[in-house]
A and B are shown apart, each in its own frame.
Chain A
């Protein structure tokens, strides 16, 4: 409670100091599905409830190809929105360097972000030259495998507790007419699943050498050879999974047509909508059950620079609000993600979210690929992965060679 009160005092102090008149704040984001929209509504309500400002919603569905060119065009066209969602990480680097983004350092200092944001890597991703340019709002992690109890029961095997057991159970699933591994065919899904397997199978050291230090030798080495072999195996398990979207793949798991899916924590929401109960209808294993570790990617809000000092003050108020304890809890419960501050209580969170919170508390965390690799390198790896996962004639060795070449040129 003390923290909450402190933060609220901080917020109000900031309001009193800077806000003189009401402003319309245009906010761009790509959260348009049911749960996401409900989560955004929490932000809007917080802004309109705590200040005189008005939230003008600029939702545009489709993160990569659709929303981003629009956001960036608006910013470089000199007619920016007042706040915009972007993945935190390296995506906004150049906009910051070009001086197009508002410096939030004073807000961060007033609100004590440095003390409350956990893990601190989230704030580091927002920091350029010691100044803070974005407000992280949530944590999403990729390292989960979702297992259908019904599918394994139908196949007459126990629900696996790690990847190796899953591999061992896969033939039984196939014999029972199930798809062992559900997998959507979009590039980001192929790439994400591979990343999860890399951490679990190659181990943490090899993974960080490749992904953080961009060591091409490790990428070409024996640890990663095992990952590619495992991925080729998984490819065979997923051969009959003829779906595009990730949630269609999740649906295969929910209905018991498929045994498992490797997918981030956002899959949680789908199980919830289908009234499934963790531990009874499905199981979630962090780190494929091999090493319990999660990456801490997520979303952040950036505030493009405006000429008007009053608007600037309003932007800063919004930034402070986004991280305030109450807003963090309300938002993340709706969104199904983890809060960026460790000092809030998420009792209402379900089993899988609790597991994530525990891991977060132990500090077994990794930076997300977004934070370490440039979008360009990510794109090249995605191209490779989507081809590899969908073309059974693409051998593990060939894929690894190409992968090492990409890492060698990574920036």
Chain B
């Protein structure tokens, strides 16, 4: 029973379907009004508004009547800084996604093994999440500073040729930001994972032990598939954070050296507010939203489309 409960949301879906008549469900609909309003008016409304204005020559203020067609997009895709930003986001995004999930899950699995001092470790892993990105960027900028950070310390230990200066090296600067980003966010992913692991019934562990399945295999074959909703939550949390990464870069490198660590959100924000070119900023953010949709629509289809069949 427990197995189907935790893993199988499918079976649950049938329960509320029965009273799913218009009137019986009235209070649910009324209760959902804030959500419906937010979804339709705020998110859809603002997105449409943004997309519309990306075809205009809006500068400091939105100018719906200055239609320029695809000009903003042409300029966007011929701007080197934007292309660098996209590339950085791809590298940062993939690495951050994989590392956050792996680190988060591993730490959660380790903590879940009835260890001593779990509370201490959990607090240590989670506390960075309480700090803002500005602070995270600042601290890691220091630690990675070649003149008085890690590089200097290791050199003082006698390893003279040691170099570790990601923030001053255009080729690897994005990984320097990654180190800080993982530090800040992986603890929360660990907590989510831990919550999921704690939801796994002991009977499962007993059964696998009786069958003689090794622990690591149990995790991969049995536990992770059962934690699918947890992984989805973690994935959305991480991915939405990746798309929006801005403060961290500003605090750590300001996009430098040169334009080597620029990210799309920074391009959008600076074009909108610093360059006072709303149209360009909106065009860039529309491109970001399109890329989100490309990922989200297939997921939504799998998640909900599949369900309607049963």
Interface string of B105-124 (1 = CB under 8 A from A): 00000000000000000000
| Smallest CB gap from A243: residue in B | B147
Interchain CB contact (< 8 A) of B59 among A64, A76, A376, A386: A376
In the complex, whether B276 has a CB less than 8 A from a CB of chain A is: yes
Instruction: State A72–B272 Cα separation when bound (angstroms).
Output: 11
Flag if B269 contacts A244 (CB, 8 Å).
no
Flag if A65 contacts B250 (CB, 8 Å).
yes
Flag if A390 contacts B275 (CB, 8 Å).
no
Interchain CB contact (< 8 A) of A374 among B250, B259, B276: B276
A244-B277 CB under 8 A given contacts A94-B59, A94-B60: no
B270 neighbours in A (Cβ, 8 Å) = 64-65, 379
Flag if A386 contacts B259 (CB, 8 Å).
yes
**A200-259 at interface with B (beta carbon < 8 Å):** 242, 244
Instruction: State A379–B75 Cα separation when bound (angstroms).
Output: 14
Flag if B170 contacts A390 (CB, 8 Å).
yes
Flag if B60 contacts A186 (CB, 8 Å).
no
| Smallest CB gap from A377: residue in B | B275
A94 neighbours in B (Cβ, 8 Å) = 59-61, 276
Flag if B276 contacts A375 (CB, 8 Å).
yes
B79 neighbours in A (Cβ, 8 Å) = 383
Interface string of B262-292 (1 = CB under 8 A from A): 0000000111111111001000000000000
In the complex, whether A105 has a CB less than 8 A from a CB of chain B is: no
Interface string of B239-262 (1 = CB under 8 A from A): 000000000001001111111100
Interchain CB contact (< 8 A) of A242 among B60, B168, B274, B276: B168
Interface size on B, residues (CB 8 A): 29
Flag if B276 contacts A380 (CB, 8 Å).
no
Interchain CB contact (< 8 A) of B61 among A76, A380, A391: A76
| Smallest CB gap from B84: residue in A | A387
B253 neighbours in A (Cβ, 8 Å) = 244
Give the shortest distance, in Å, between A194 (CB) and chain B (any CB): 14
Give the shortest distance, in Å, between B184 (CB) and chain A (any CB): 20
Flag if A185 contacts B146 (CB, 8 Å).
no
Instruction: State A98–B61 Cα separation when bound (angstroms).
Output: 9
| Smallest CB gap from B75: residue in A | A409
| Smallest CB gap from A91: residue in B | B276
A69 neighbours in B (Cβ, 8 Å) = 269, 272-273
In the complex, whether A4 has a CB less than 8 A from a CB of chain B is: no
Instruction: State A98–B58 Cα separation when bound (angstroms).
Output: 13
In the complex, whether B152 has a CB less than 8 A from a CB of chain A is: no
In the complex, whether B53 has a CB less than 8 A from a CB of chain A is: no
| Smallest CB gap from B253: residue in A | A244
| Smallest CB gap from B80: residue in A | A387
A310 neighbours in B (Cβ, 8 Å) = none
Flag if A391 contacts B256 (CB, 8 Å).
no
Flag if A65 contacts B276 (CB, 8 Å).
no
B61 neighbours in A (Cβ, 8 Å) = 76, 94-95, 98
A380 neighbours in B (Cβ, 8 Å) = 275
In the complex, whether A36 has a CB less than 8 A from a CB of chain B is: no
Instruction: State A91–B275 Cα separation when bound (angstroms).
Output: 9
Flag if A375 contacts B274 (CB, 8 Å).
yes
Give the shortest distance, in Å, between B262 (CB) and chain A (any CB): 9
Instruction: State A186–B276 Cα separation when bound (angstroms).
Output: 19
Flag if B274 contacts A64 (CB, 8 Å).
yes
B146 neighbours in A (Cβ, 8 Å) = 242
Instruction: State A94–B81 Cα separation when bound (angstroms).
Output: 27
Instruction: State A326–B147 Cα separation when bound (angstroms).
Output: 46
Instruction: State A64–B250 Cα separation when bound (angstroms).
Output: 12
Instruction: State A372–B170 Cα separation when bound (angstroms).
Output: 33
Interface string of A375-409 (1 = CB under 8 A from B): 11011100100110111000000000000000000
Interface string of B62-86 (1 = CB under 8 A from A): 0000000000000000011100000
B81 neighbours in A (Cβ, 8 Å) = 383, 387
Give the shortest distance, in Å, between B265 (CB) and chain A (any CB): 11
Residues of B at the A interface (CB closer than 8 Å) are 59-61, 79-81, 146-147, 168, 170, 250, 253-260, 269-277, 280
Residues of A at the B interface (CB closer than 8 Å) are 64-65, 68-69, 72, 76, 91, 93-95, 98, 185-187, 242, 244, 374-376, 378-380, 383, 386-387, 389-391
Given contacts A69-B273, A379-B271, list 20 more A-B pairs with CB under 8 A.
A64-B270, A65-B273, A69-B269, A91-B276, A94-B276, A98-B61, A187-B255, A242-B168, A244-B256, A374-B276, A375-B276, A376-B59, A379-B270, A379-B274, A383-B79, A387-B258, A390-B256, A390-B259, A390-B260, A391-B258
